[in-house]
Every structure is written in C-alpha cells, then in structure tokens.
Amino acid sequence: MYIVTSTVLVSPEKTDEVIGIYRKRSRRVDENEGFLSFKLIQNTKKKNELTVHMEWESKEAYMAWVKSQEFKEIHDMEKNYPDQELAGIIPTVRQYEVVAE
C-alpha cells in the first residue's frame, strides 16, 4: 500500500470553508485504478491544520493518477480558486510506503 498526505495551514477563519470544499469534492480520484481511500483529517490541537490522506494500492497507481488529465484539471481549478488566499496555499506533500501491518 502507498499513502500520500498533503497538509495545509489555513487561516482560522477559512478552516470551515476549506472543510466544506473537501466535503463537496468532485470524487474523480475515486474512480482511478488502484485508488483505495480519501480522508480529510484535522489536527486536534491546531484546528487550521488540515491533511488530505489518500491510500493507493501501489506507488505506480498513484503516479498514474498524478500523470492523468483529471489530476491536471483538478489542480488547475485549485490554482484558479476565486479566493486568492486559498488559491495561494502550498501544501506539504509526503509519500509513504506501508512496510508492515
């Protein structure tokens, strides 16, 4: 299994807005081969720290998603989000290989 996280810090007053965006996400990634799950998780102490947690069958499945037209379109939409504060957020992305269960 391959896990990818993408963490952002948003201003406290924008936290609920960002959560709402993810609750209404397009779910286009869900249809990709090798995709297992998507979760938006919130830090319990720093409520404005949000992390997208995605699980994939393999690194190859994730990389196929990253190279897809759907990935490009979704991330282009994020860059063009009307709220420039949110559009300008740069996430910290981390990738993990599951080595034991």
Judge whether 17 and 44 are in contact, CB under 8 Å.
no
Please give the pLDDT value at position 62: 97
**Predicted confidence band of residue 34 (pLDDT cuts 50, 70, 90):** very high
Q: What is the pLDDT of residues 60-99, one digit of tens each?
A: 999 999 999 888 887 776 666 667 677 778 899 999 999 9
| CATH T-level fold of 2-97 | Alpha-Beta Plaits (3.30.70)
DSSP lists the bridge partners of residue 7 as 51, 92
- pLDDT tens figures, 9-28: 999 999 999 999 899 888 88
DSSP symbols for 39-83: EEEE-SSSTTEEEEEEEES-HHHHHHHHTSHHHHHHHHHHHT-S-
Q: Which two tokens stand for residue 72?
A: 């490009």
pLDDT given at position 78: 67
pLDDT at 45 > cutoff 70: yes
Q: What is the pLDDT of residue 37?
A: 97
For the full predicted model, state whether its pTM sits above 0.85.
yes
CA 32, 73, 92 angle in degrees (round to 5)?
80
